Amino acid sequence: MSESTVIGIVGMALVALAIFLFWPRRGWLWRQRQSEEERQRIQVEDALKYLYFCELEQRRPTVAGIAGRMQVPENRAADIVGDLQTLGFATIGPEAIQLTGDGRTYALHIVRAHRLWERHLADETGYAEHEWHGRAEEAEHSMTPAEADALASRLRNPLLDPHGDPIPTATGEMVDERGGAVTVLAPGESGRITHLEDEPEGLYAQLVAEGFYPGMVVQMIDESPERVRVWADGNEQILAPLTASLISVTPLSESETHPIDGGITLADLTSAEAGRILSLSPRCRGVERRRFLDLGFVPGTEVIAEMISPSGEPTAYRVRDTLIALRKNQAGMINIERIPVLSD
Amino acid sequence: MSSATLSQERLTAQEILDQAASLRLQVGDFHEKLVEATYAEAADIADSVVTRPDRARRDSLDQRIDRLVTSRLWGFPLMVLLFAVVFWITISGANVPSSLLMDLLIGQLYPLLHAGADAINLPWWLSGLLIDGMYLATAWVVSVMLPPMAIFFPLFTLLEDFGYLPRVAFNLDNIFRKSGAHGKQALSMMMGFGCNAAAMVSTRVIDSPRERLIAMITNNFALCNGRWPTQILIATLFIGALAPPYLAGLVSALAVVSVAMLGVFLTFVVSWALSRTLLKGEVSAFSLELPPYRPPRIWQTIYTSLIDRTLFVLWRAIVFALPAGAVIWLVSNIHWGGDTLAVHLINLLNPLGLLIGLNGVILLAYVVAIPANEIVIPTILMLTVLTTGMTGVGDGAGVMFELDSTAATMDLFRAGGWTLLTGVNLMLFSLIHNPCSTTIYTMYKESGSRKWTAIAALLPLAMGFFVTFLVAQLWRLFV
């Protein structure tokens, strides 16, 4: 290789590097600067959210609380509070930090964006449940109020996010459907889960893995300081009191107690057994739910498990004279009652 | 609020809106309940007014067939047998019409065209460009591609029409489920063994968006009809030659089958990886309907599969083969600084080619023969003659050819500096590289997405470079 070739290659590499570093709006330098500004804005927004939730739950907001929640050092948290005051979003009184009207509106927008995005992820994408919260934490900071409105109307103005939390309307109103912790239920009493708190994430993931979801009916067996025992979908679940405190329920009235979800699902049928569909689980959402209804998996319909794939899954079910194959996890979302097989 | 109070007061528009909003908060999310109730009502109405004729007998026949083709004992052997028969009919049936077409289009029409061009004193470069370049490439693609497609597609469509193919998806779904894909991908994969472009269209049966994209992006790993001959030729020349003569056929067949199996393996691995990374946000909703069996409508099936699949794919291939033929001829005939463009390009690509155990000729052939894998080997042969300056072989610069004798082909490869590593890596690269332009274009038409099309084209290419690079380095270390 001649000297001039080497120089040519080195020169081209240098030009490429310069473009990579200094290109306006895309280059490394610009991104660094821009992300510093953005980081500050995101911290302000997160602090607003914290203040808003304190107000809602009637807790006293503190600088230490902000620091703990946002995982920043306390002096950084104090700076953020200072920023909030300068921006006119909060006032620092002798007693406490308080949101101003503007601050509350801003915070509500962030909460709205977050919960709308979770709704969107649940209904319109294939992301797994444990990813919704983290993704919404990012998306909430890059949505303008106009975009939030457009998203809301596309989703047909939902009132609740997939965790059962109310979504504020554009004017800041929302349903109050929180209910109480699962421990308000007396032994033997049933309640419908209205909300699963998605923080701390580890405990939330555990609840999801155990099969809890908003809309599910649970029945209290008993509770002690060490553990809480409930019936859920026909299984006995034993929870630590801290984990149980993430579950909010509203007690069911007498008339609602039957039919209770759970018991058995389509997945429990083996070959040549029959059942009648009671309901589709609320875990089954969006496209999948519509598909089920399209295919005829409608409450009241009779279903026969006709054959099982030689590889173990899926199982083909006869529904309204057609054969439809469903995988196990899908069949598990269709609640049924057993009926005797009709003889041919 | 009662209707009496409503009618007495005069509400402003704002008050009405406020009231509606507060009532909505009380009612809650009712869309899903509404939809469910609508469906339940529709089902009720249908049950009360539709009478169903006695169909018990047909059902029991259907059930008997289903029990057989999905049974633990017979399900898989039957499937393997049926597809083996389909492939055997395709391969053995395509040979004769293929060589007839080759003889007609290239053996007879091609010299005739040249004679005609000479008669009207067409300048050499124009007749070269039109006849040696564009016509020859197109004729080649047609005669190699048409017969197998015209046999394979109707057979496949017959199985589909009969209702058997959904049962294959049903049998195999569990394996595909574990890699995040849909059982019906088994069908598009099978179709891919015939033609990847047609397989792109066949992924329409997968109605779940994520799984359909997975099927499209990984389809290239199903070794298509255009690549089988390359595999067989190279396996015979390089791998079969390693074994004693009486085992040569078996060994080379095993080599080809292993490459095809490697493709199946890669399909699962890449599907698995895609469904957990790039595609995890796409909507996924599995459903698989198993329609009742019905006697296939043979003539209608043959007609529609010829029109919809065979001619459709062939037309797209021709559209891409014409310019490619021109490019192939031009790069071999345009001189620049004493050498042809092809030689310059080959010298440029040679370092990269040698790095990954191939050479510049092979890489250039893959670039210019992007419309169809069928013309890769003829282009390689022509370019090898061009660069080595061999005389007495081939038909001149820019004119693709194939040799009747494998020994002569091997001599040519030796002159081009090929080793066993070149052969092995060519087999690997032929399996793992970008899909042909016909397939890429079809994927774009089907998915409507530049992004996913680009990924489908570039991902296998990057993987191909990686795999051949790795093999070449290990080879040089240990062999």
Q: Above pLDDT 70, what percent of chain A? A: 89
Instruction: Tell whether A136 lies on the interface with B, counting CB pairs under 8 A.
Output: no
pLDDT at A4: 55
Shortest distance between the Cα of A217 and any Cα of chain B, in A, equals 17
Shortest distance between the Cα of A211 and any Cα of chain B, in A, equals 19
Tokens 């409503």 found at: B6
pLDDT at A25: 62
Question: Could you report the predicted ipTM of this complex, rounded to two decimals?
Answer: 0.79
Q: Which band of pLDDT confidence, cut at 50, 70 and 90, is reported for residue B432?
A: very high
Does the pTM surpass 0.90? The reply is no
Mean model confidence pLDDT for chain B? 86
pLDDT at B450: 93
pLDDT digits (tens, 9 = 90+) for A204-237: 888 888 888 877 878 888 888 888 888 877 778 8
Q: How far apart are the first and last CA of chain B?
A: 90
Query: Which of A298, A342, A343 to mutate to probe the B interface, most B CBs <10 Å?
Result: A298
pLDDT digits (tens, 9 = 90+) for B230-247: 898 899 889 988 888 888
Average the pLDDT over each of A87-91, A189-193, B110-114, B441-445 and give the range with the smallest value.
A189-193
Look at A56 and B258; give whichever has higher pLDDT.
Answer: B258
Cβ-based contacts of B56 with chain A (< 8 Å): 344
* Highest mean pLDDT: which range of A4-13, A40-49, B54-63, B383-392: A40-49
pLDDT at B365: 92
Cβ-based contacts of B173 with chain A (< 8 Å): 309, 311, 313-314, 325, 327
Phi, psi of A257 (to 5 degrees): -60, -25
> Mean pLDDT throughout B445-471?
93
Shortest distance between the Cα of A222 and any Cα of chain B, in A, equals 31
Task: Out of B29, B36, B292, name the one closest to residue A158 (CB).
Answer: B29
Angstrom CA distances, A42 to A37, A97, A113, A143, B129, stand at 9, 19, 13, 12, 63
Q: Which residue of A has its CA nearest to B175?
A: A311
Q: Which residues make up the CATH 1.10.10.10 domain(s) of chain A?
A: 28-99
Q: How far apart are the first and last CA of chain A?
A: 85
Burial class for A186, CB neighbours closer than 10 Å (0-12, 13-18, 19+): exposed
Contact B210 A126 (CB under 8 A): yes
pLDDT at A1: 46
pLDDT digits (tens, 9 = 90+) for B140-150: 888 888 888 88
Run of H or E residues at B478: helix B450-478
pLDDT digits (tens, 9 = 90+) for B273-282: 998 888 887 8
Contact A175 B66 (CB under 8 A): no
Structure tokens at B265: 């393996």
Closest residue by Cα to residue A84 from A20, A116, A115, A40: A40
> Mean pLDDT throughout B342-371?
90
- For the domain made up of A180-251, give the CATH fold: SH3 type barrels. (2.30.30)
Cβ-based contacts of B35 with chain A (< 8 Å): 290, 293
Q: Which residues make up the CATH 2.30.30.90 domain(s) of chain A?
A: 180-251, 266-339
Shortest distance between the Cα of A124 and any Cα of chain B, in A, equals 7
Measured over all CA atoms, what is the biggest interatomic distance in chain A, rounded to whole angstroms? Answer: 91
Contact B24 A174 (CB under 8 A): no
Average the pLDDT over each of A145-159, A226-240, B67-81 and give the range with the smallest value.
A226-240
Answer yes or no: are the C-beta atoms of A325 and A316 closer than 8 Å: yes
Q: Which band of pLDDT confidence, cut at 50, 70 and 90, is reported for residue A2?
A: low
Instruction: Tell whether A261 lies on the interface with B, counting CB pairs under 8 A.
Output: no
Among 3.30.499.10, 1.10.1060.10, 3.40.50.300, 1.10.10.10, what is the CATH number of A28-99? 1.10.10.10
Look at A219 and B459; give whichever has higher pLDDT.
Answer: B459
Q: Which band of pLDDT confidence, cut at 50, 70 and 90, is reported for residue B27?
A: low
Shortest distance between the Cα of B285 and any Cα of chain A, in A, equals 5
Helix (H, G, I), strand (E, B) or coil at A306: strand
Shortest distance between the Cα of A311 and any Cα of chain B, in A, equals 6
Cβ-based contacts of B39 with chain A (< 8 Å): 293, 298
pLDDT at B440: 93
Angstrom CA distances, A90 to A33, A104, B40, stand at 27, 9, 52
Q: Above pLDDT 70, what percent of chain B? A: 95
- For the domain made up of A266-339, give the CATH fold: SH3 type barrels. (2.30.30)
Contact B283 A287 (CB under 8 A): yes
pLDDT at B309: 77
Helix spans in B179-311 (H):
185-194, 196-202, 209-218, 228-234, 245-276, 298-304
Q: Which band of pLDDT confidence, cut at 50, 70 and 90, is reported for residue B2?
A: very low
pLDDT at A26: 67
Average the pLDDT over each of A197-201, B219-223, B245-249, B373-377 and give the range with the smallest value.
A197-201
Answer yes or no: are the C-beta atoms of B313 and B89 closer than 8 Å: no
Contact A300 B287 (CB under 8 A): no
Structure tokens at A203: 């405990």
pLDDT at A177: 56
Q: Which band of pLDDT confidence, cut at 50, 70 and 90, is reported for residue A257?
A: very low
Cβ-based contacts of B68 with chain A (< 8 Å): none
pLDDT digits (tens, 9 = 90+) for B310-323: 888 788 888 888 88
Instruction: Tell whether A30 lies on the interface with B, counting CB pairs under 8 A.
Output: no
Helix (H, G, I), strand (E, B) or coil at A301: coil
Cβ-based contacts of A332 with chain B (< 8 Å): none
Shortest distance between the Cα of A177 and any Cα of chain B, in A, equals 10
Strand partners, A302: A276
Instruction: Tell whether A290 lies on the interface with B, counting CB pairs under 8 A.
Output: yes
Phi, psi of B276 (to 5 degrees): -100, -10
Closest residue by Cα to residue A126 from B185, B189, B180: B180
Contact A124 B283 (CB under 8 A): yes
